[in-house]
A and B are shown apart, each in its own frame.
Chain A
């Protein structure tokens, strides 16, 4: 047992039990043994992944390598970050306690908040990126997802949360303005806005690619709208507050919609109605995004969010169990030829920097900083829980990314490339695709057109050739894993559409919530302008809301349409932009964190946020540079632009994958837009970093600077810090419970 002197009880009021427990004791021998065992298992798993060649690695090793690394990192590195930088003080009331209104500010059980936070940060991103990155083999992606998480992404999420908790839950944009000054702050705000637009557009593109020409998928997804409307009305009119009840009904209906999709897709009218071209789907999505962002939240957004939260947690548990039970064998090589040559068909460019761009969510995702500085800090009970929520929440997302990678590397590699290479390369039919992938020089037996056709038929699809975007590949892999555990080949089609549906569901949730947030950001910014634009500040002014929503939808809708019609393959050209944007947002967040650490004169530990920041800047700036300046048309947007322009000027009627002059014009236009966006993103972030450098120099000269931390307010609330309470924490909890007597407890001790 731990000696009493190693435990410090934090008190703010002599009449109250302690509000915090600080334990500094040495690790108990039994714990040491556990840690050693975990470390050894982890080391073995990593060795298997890194060294085994020539035979198929079992997917279980990925799970072991990941989980063991997380445990060790959480126990040692997260603790270091906590002790040296975050420095939580449980004597201090969190914004949730201080401003508790039982609505948006509400101290929430840490285990429940973990679920909330996870559901808010994880979406389709960690599922899609790793699938695309699988073209480089399984090893580079796995290393980046796990190491990037423990040294980068988790540190960012944790520290942004810790910062925001001390600032009443202010957002990253506001903190940038407070800590970096006006110029840095404005650049950060604009960066957040444009990055949001590109994120929505690319995620929508993933949905379009997954659902185009698939009446089954379109029907199931379309059904989620009436299901959500029904749930909204149920909660509003029939039984307010019965959220889990209506969610269960909704999930039941959702499963029914997936099954019914199979029947509908068999009928003539179903095929007529629900077989949509990519362009038509893009228009429908834009219309949906507009409607969802101006409709009241209770009708569509809130119920959708419930469904999405439930499905997210449920499906991920299902997939983890599936992988552990099915233990599939990996088909991809550890490091593929494309990693070394940088000429892969899924995305172009060398391993550095493009692998690190392609996998953003799951390793280091800037978007998380918007969650860690928005809703989550307003629900945190104690400062010391930020490690569990911020660092721990990111570990879970990283684990999801590892599982997504597993599903992509356990399917046949010829099939993988037939699905993921753009139509310009595969030719779009099973015959041409088979010829194309067999010419790639992959290991293993070549594939026949019949086998590609068979793979599509097995999951109830017309074709799987060039279904880029990651979602169909993941769905195919998931269906392979899950049907081998549950239901056999008879359920393969169900599981495929189940996976497509939940990815599309996550993405639609991001699309509607993102459109709404961007709409508010736009109206806030317009409202700050002088003159009649002031009226935009009034949130109840419907015309303003509609105008802003329309502007936002037009912006992302235009990029989406551009991607859908891109002769070069939209995912191929746009996904790097999405990754770069997300990682640049991470650079903004890490810059803010680093500046605060410098201002507080924690010079010895600046490297903790600076390490991922410098790495992230190296990756994003190299990638941006290559995207803008590379002379190779495959990589550089402007090189491609010039090549097509020259061909057009020479009067050619077709060039490369562009078969007509109109397609050539499309490439010329698209590359100009993409090249411009690359310059804008990188430029904005450089402004933020430059502004930060000025503040850093000033602060070091002045010997530290005040930050915008709010003054202390004594806490009068207790809750354990970690997932499982320690003995001392249980004792303190018992004192609080005894004090509460027959009064209703906080629910924390269930």
Chain B
């Protein structure tokens, strides 16, 4: 293997590691955001479009207002 090949292989390896790192970071971000609820509103808009096409979705502010009001009325337990 010539020196040039070695450099090329090294570069390709580094790019692979870089890609893997980017993917991991993206995965962690996707997971955290979905777990905490960042995507819930988008999910609601999509759900409404599918189930009641043409219906106007409420604003994101209003959506969370309603959700928290429902949580107020139906509390969920947290374990020990």
Footprint of B on A, CB under 8 Å? 100-104, 106, 109, 111-112, 115-116, 120-125, 196, 199, 203, 235-236, 240-245, 247, 296-298, 301-302, 305-306, 308-310, 313, 360-361, 365, 367-368, 370-371, 374-375, 509-510, 513-514, 516-517, 520, 539, 582, 744, 747, 750
Contacts and interface: CB of A to CB of B under 8 A. Distances in A.
Interface string B46-80: 11100100000000110111111011111111111
Contact of A509 (B46, B61, B74, B78): B78
B24 interface: no
Given A102-B48, A744-B46, A123 B36 contact: no
B35 A302 contact: no
Contacts of B66: 103
Contacts of A240: 60-61, 63-64
Given A121-B79, A243-B37, A509-B78, A106 B43 contact: yes
B33 interface: yes
Residue from B61, B74, B75 having most chain A Cβ neighbours under 10 A: B75
B56 to A, nearest CB: 15
Given A123-B80, A124-B80, A367-B80, A310 B32 contact: yes
Contact of B64 (A236, A305, A370): A236
Contact of A115 (B27, B35, B51): B35
A313 B36 CA distance: 12
Contact of A513 (B39, B63, B78): B78
Contacts of B48: 102
A112 B78 contact: no
Contacts of B43: 102, 106, 747
Contact of A747 (B34, B64, B75, B80): B34
Contacts of A109: 34
Contacts of B34: 109, 112, 747
Nearest to B48: A102
Contacts of A368: 79
Contact of B70 (A104, A115, A306, A514): A104
Interface of B is mostly: helix
B33 A244 contact: yes
Contacts of A305: 78
Given A101-B47, A124-B80, A539-B73, 19 more contacts: A102-B43, A103-B44, A103-B66, A103-B67, A112-B35, A120-B79, A125-B79, A203-B80, A240-B60, A240-B63, A241-B41, A241-B64, A245-B38, A296-B72, A297-B75, A309-B35, A360-B80, A510-B78, A517-B75
A371 B79 CA distance: 8
Contact of A516 (B60, B64, B68, B75): B75
Interface string B1-43: 0000000000000000000000000010011111111111101
Contact of B75 (A361, A371, A513): A513
B79 A375 contact: no
A101 B46 CA distance: 11
A102 B75 contact: no
Given A112-B31, A298-B68, A309-B36, A102 B76 contact: no
B77 A374 contact: yes
A102 B77 contact: no
Given A240-B60, A296-B68, A296-B72, A367 B77 contact: yes
A297 B47 contact: no
Interface of A is mostly: helix
A121 B78 CA distance: 7
Contacts of B40: 102, 106, 241
Contacts of A309: 35-36
A398 B59 CA distance: 41
A115 B34 CA distance: 10
A251 to B, nearest CB: 11
A204 to B, nearest CB: 11
Interface residues of B, number: 38
6 contacts: A102-B44, A241-B60, A241-B63, A370-B77, A371-B76, A510-B79
Contacts of B27: 750
Given A298-B64, A750-B30, A244 B78 contact: no
B68 to A, nearest CB: 4
A311 to B, nearest CB: 12
Contacts of B35: 112, 115-116, 309, 313
Contacts of B65: 236, 298
A11 B39 CA distance: 29
Contacts of A582: 80
Residue from B36, B61, B68, B78 having most chain A Cβ neighbours under 10 A: B78
Contact of B72 (A102, A297, A513): A297
Contacts of B60: 240-241
A514 B31 contact: no
Contacts of A122: 79
A223 to B, nearest CB: 21
Contact of B68 (A121, A302, A375, A750): A302
A189 to B, nearest CB: 14
A517 B76 contact: yes
Contacts of B64: 235-236, 240-241, 298
A734 to B, nearest CB: 19
Nearest to B50: A743
Nearest to A100: B47
Contacts of A302: 68, 71
A115 B27 CA distance: 14
A374 B68 contact: no
Residue from A245, A313, A516 having most chain B Cβ neighbours under 10 A: A516
Contacts of A241: 37-38, 40-41, 60, 63-64
B80 A361 contact: yes
A112 B80 CA distance: 21
Contact of B79 (A115, A367, A539, A750): A367
A365 B78 CA distance: 13
A111 B41 CA distance: 19
A514 B48 CA distance: 33
Contact of A510 (B44, B72, B80): B80
Given A241-B40, A244-B33, A365 B76 contact: no
Nearest to A397: B79
B4 to A, nearest CB: 37
A125 B80 CA distance: 5
A104 B47 CA distance: 13
Residue from A115, A360, A509, A582 having most chain B Cβ neighbours under 10 A: A115
A525 to B, nearest CB: 15
Contact of A310 (B30, B36, B41, B76): B36
B76 to A, nearest CB: 5
A520 B73 CA distance: 9
A590 to B, nearest CB: 17
Contacts of A125: 79-80
Residue from A244, A367, A374, A510 having most chain B Cβ neighbours under 10 A: A244
Contact of A120 (B63, B71, B78): B78
B55 to A, nearest CB: 12
B63 to A, nearest CB: 8
Residue from B51, B64, B66 having most chain A Cβ neighbours under 10 A: B64
B36 A247 contact: yes
